[in-house]
Amino acid sequence: MTDPPKTYAPRRSAGDRYKWTALTNTTAAVFMSALDGSIVLIALPAIFRGVHLDPLAPGNIAYLLWMIMGYRLVQAVLVVTVGRLGDMYGRVLIYNSGFAVFTFASILLSLDPFNGGNGAMWLIAWRVVQAVGGSMLAANSAAILTDAFPKEQRGFALGINQVAGLAGMFLGLVAGGLLSTWDWRAVFWVNVPVGVFFTLWAYRTLRETGKSGGGRIDWWGNITFAVGLSVVLVAVTFGLQPYGGRTMGWTNPLVDTLLAGGLVLLATFVAIETRVSAPMLQLSLFRQRAFTFGNLAGLAISIGRGGMQFVLVIWLQGIWLPLHGYDYGDTPLWAGIFMLPLTAGFLAAGPVSGYLSDRLGSRGLATGGALLFGASFLGLMLLPIDFSYWIFASLIALNGIASGMFASPNSSSIMGSVPAQLRGVASGMRSTFQNSGTAVSIGVFFSLMIAGLTKSLPHALTTGLQEQGVPAHVATQVGSLPPVSSLFAAQLGVNPIQHLLEPSGTLTHLTVVQQQTLTGREFFPTLISGPFHSGLVIVFAFGATLAFLAAFASLLRGSSPTVKLPGPDTPPRTTAGDTLGAATDDGTEMTRAEITMRPTPGN
């Protein structure tokens, strides 16, 4: 009697193992890069205390703005360039170098030897270098995944990657609060062991699977784009600061000059790109409807999401948490914790939507996600200032689910619409739209919020202070201060009234009861609630409008031809020369038998 034949489980191919290695490494990189984009937002109070700098003192608001915006500015400027370098010299080479730069900058950030303005400048400068490394990671990770995964799994892989990036942005709020309560330097230490491990692992395991095409750098295009976008965002930071007795600086001639100059440089950049043989931006990619409208939809969602994050943090830290018994010094940490439903919603929806987009197509999921995103803004707009937390938690969870529904299918649609040899630059262009939207959203949402506060905050503040015994001239002086100081004070976990009145010594001349009332947890939140709600209505209405515009742009991406996978009904393969000129995932042409020009609903 012979033994039955042995059966063996099929061995996983080296290519199959490699794609999961690439997914794990790039997901960690994107998560770490995004985490650092937001971790500082909550940790700012501890950071400025650590370098002994009052960011709200006259002339110091610029340090605060650049700690927030500098990282995003560099990423917005550089991602296309380093994506192009990846296409030319190898995506893995540029990606691995980015890990090393990011980790090195994290070490030096934690070793800040200075105090005051010099300490802040050290941090801003090394944050810029850190952002260079982050750009190299972000620009090439999607291209590496697109090279490694077949089309039928690409939406899932890019979805996981995109979820990691936006989850890092959300979780950075909690991580910043937790780490800064221990030591402000821990905000930067956390990157070092992770960065060292994944840098070494990337060098050992990742390999070039795409085609690198050599070529040249479009220096004039790079210079005009980088300088033009930087100048515009510098103008935004000046526009948020008071000027000439006004609450904002948009009437400042310097701001007007910078904006005009930046826009002229960007227009020059577009003209250059139409004339050079190896442009920085492949403007021909915009002939693809999926690429064009996918990026426009992504830009609109990015502006809405970035601005919403700042507004929710200020709402929680400046009003809701103090009204519910939390000390101002503790509000940065608890704001991050109370925003966890936003992260949970995104983490739940992101991978699922990426998986479904591979089977159902991208257009329907992305459009539905954008519509749901807008609906969550409308829900937040209807909330009272002192809301029930579970209603608030449900709305921000819905917002996170909507972001996850949109992000993965949108990225898959964009990256799947470009030729293989241009995936690096396409990934960089996609990241530029996203990072530019986040950077611009800070200026847009803060401007809208300040405009809403300006109408009623000065009178409310002046009247409320006088009712508690503050002399009229002091109350008038405090009431006339720019609202941006009150907003940033709330965001930094500082008691705004105490911060405004202590320098003049006014508090010492008041009764103990008056002092306790003015510096208590309820006086400022109650005082600012009405004016702040006016600003909230404006910014959430704007966010909803952006979301609905994104849904419309997502619909316009159109249908695309689908590749029919081999199966029992697949017609016999034709001769090698019988092609339609359609590109496969690796950039080669497909035969007539391998492609059907039949639109898939919702794709």
Quick count: other Cβ atoms within 10 Å of Cβ 533?
18
Residue with tokens 């519509």, as numbered in its chain: 371
Measured between alpha carbons, how far is residue 402 from residues 40, 82, 153, 165, 398 in Å? 25, 30, 22, 15, 6
* H or E segment to which residue 598 belongs: strand 595-599
Q: How far apart are CA 384 and CA 382, in angstroms?
A: 7
Whole-number pLDDT of residue 121: 93
Please tell me whether residues 112 and 228 are part of one structural domain: no
Of 292, 254, 311, 256, nearest to 444 (Cα)? 311
In a domain, 465, yes or no: no
In a domain, 359, yes or no: yes
Of 170, 537, 532, 551, nearest to 377 (Cα)? 537
Whole-number pLDDT of residue 140: 84
Q: What is the pTM of this model?
A: 0.74
**Cβ atoms of residues 406 and 349 within 8 Å:** no
> Which one of 239, 263, 279 terminates a domain?
279
Which of the listed ranges 3-12, 128-137, 424-433, 497-506 does the model predict with the highest average pLDDT? 128-137
In a domain, 459, yes or no: no
Residues 6+ apart with CB under 8 A from 448: 535, 538, 539, 542
Which residue did the predictor score with more confidence, 161 or 323?
Answer: 323
**Cβ atoms of residues 353 and 369 within 8 Å:** yes
**Domain span at residue 592?**
564-599
Whole-number pLDDT of residue 417: 83
Interval 267-288 mean pLDDT: 84
Residues 6+ apart with CB under 8 A from 65: 237, 240, 241
Interval 509-515 mean pLDDT: 85
pLDDT digits (tens, 9 = 90+) for 340-394: 898 888 888 877 887 787 788 788 889 999 999 999 999 999 999 999 999 999 9
pLDDT digits (tens, 9 = 90+) for 406-439: 987 888 788 778 887 777 677 777 877 877 787 7
Q: How far apart are CA 346 and CA 401, in angstroms?
A: 5
Domain CATH number, residue 87:
1.20.1250.20
Identity of the residue numbered 339: M
Please tell me whether residues 269 and 288 are part of one structural domain: no
284 pLDDT above the threshold of 60 = yes
Q: How confident is the model at residue 126 (pLDDT cuts 50, 70, 90)?
A: very high
8 pLDDT above the threshold of 50 = no
Please tell me whether residues 297 and 249 are part of one structural domain: no
Interval 522-549 mean pLDDT: 87
In a domain, 58, yes or no: yes
Please tell me whether residues 299 and 259 are part of one structural domain: no
Q: How confident is the model at residue 13 (pLDDT cuts 50, 70, 90)?
A: low
Q: How far apart are CA 171 and CA 32, in angstroms?
A: 10
Of 371, 352, 346, nearest to 409 (Cα)? 352
In a domain, 580, yes or no: yes
Residue with tokens 């020369």, as numbered in its chain: 577
Share of the chain above pLDDT 70, in %: 85
How many domains are there within the chain? 3
Q: How far apart are CA 104 and CA 107, in angstroms?
A: 5
> Which one of 279, 310, 331 terminates a domain?
279
> Which one of 246, 279, 312 terminates a domain?
279
Q: How far apart are the first and last CA of the chain?
A: 57
Q: How confident is the model at residue 490 (pLDDT cuts 50, 70, 90)?
A: low
Which of 505-514, 518-527, 565-574 is predicted with the least confidence, judged by mean pLDDT? 565-574
Interval 195-209 mean pLDDT: 84
> Where are the strands (E) in 92-171, listed by range?
none
Whole-number pLDDT of residue 380: 94
Ordered DSSP codes for 202-265: HHHH----S--------HHHHHHHHHHHHHHHHHHHHHTS-BTTBSS-TT-HHHHHHHHHHHHH
- The distance from CA 277 to its chain's CA centroid, rounded to whole angstroms, is 32
Residue 579's DSSP bridge partners are 591
In a domain, 152, yes or no: yes
**Cβ atoms of residues 226 and 428 within 8 Å:** no
**Cβ atoms of residues 44 and 492 within 8 Å:** yes
592 pLDDT above the threshold of 60 = no
Of 481, 424, 494, 413, nearest to 453 (Cα)? 481
* H or E segment to which residue 367 belongs: helix 363-382
What would the two tokens of residue 504 be?
A: 């003049």
In a domain, 540, yes or no: yes
Torsions phi, psi for 535 (to 5 deg): -65, -40
**Cβ atoms of residues 280 and 81 within 8 Å:** yes
Please tell me whether residues 309 and 410 are part of one structural domain: yes
Whole-number pLDDT of residue 541: 92
Please tell me whether residues 119 and 238 are part of one structural domain: no
**Cβ atoms of residues 319 and 385 within 8 Å:** yes
Q: How far apart are CA 299 and CA 302, in angstroms?
A: 5
In a domain, 393, yes or no: yes
Is the dihedral angle over the CA atoms 370, 316, 72, 171 positive or is it negative? Answer: negative
Which residue did the predictor score with more confidence, 484 or 371?
Answer: 371
**Cβ atoms of residues 476 and 462 within 8 Å:** yes
Q: How confident is the model at residue 243 (pLDDT cuts 50, 70, 90)?
A: confident
What would the two tokens of residue 271 be?
A: 């003209």
Dihedral in degrees, nearest 10, Cα atoms 104, 106, 111, 115 = 130
Share of the chain above pLDDT 90, in %: 15
Interval 458-474 mean pLDDT: 86
Please tell me whether residues 121 and 242 are part of one structural domain: no
The secondary structure of residue 577, as a DSSP letter, is T
Q: How far apart are CA 252 and CA 249, in angstroms?
A: 5
309 pLDDT above the threshold of 70 = yes
Interval 466-484 mean pLDDT: 81
Which of 214-223, 308-317, 408-417, 587-596 is predicted with the least confidence, judged by mean pLDDT? 587-596
574 pLDDT above the threshold of 50 = no
Please tell me whether residues 263 and 323 are part of one structural domain: no
Please tell me whether residues 272 and 163 are part of one structural domain: no
Which of the listed ranges 258-267, 326-335, 354-363 does the model predict with the highest average pLDDT? 258-267
Please tell me whether residues 210 and 147 are part of one structural domain: yes
Identity of the residue numbered 220: W
Please tell me whether residues 397 and 296 are part of one structural domain: yes
pLDDT digits (tens, 9 = 90+) for 204-217: 888 877 666 556 77
What is the rounded average pLDDT for all residues in the chain? 79
In the three-class reduction of DSSP (H, G, I as helix; E, B as strand; rest coil), residue 582 is classed as strand
Q: How far apart are CA 278 and CA 272, in angstroms?
A: 10
Q: How far apart are CA 43 and CA 41, in angstroms?
A: 6
**Cβ atoms of residues 118 and 172 within 8 Å:** no
Please tell me whether residues 251 and 340 are part of one structural domain: no
Residue 562's DSSP bridge partners are 596
Whole-number pLDDT of residue 478: 78
Q: How confident is the model at residue 58 (pLDDT cuts 50, 70, 90)?
A: low
Residues 6+ apart with CB under 8 A from 137: 26, 29, 30, 32, 33, 95, 98, 99, 102
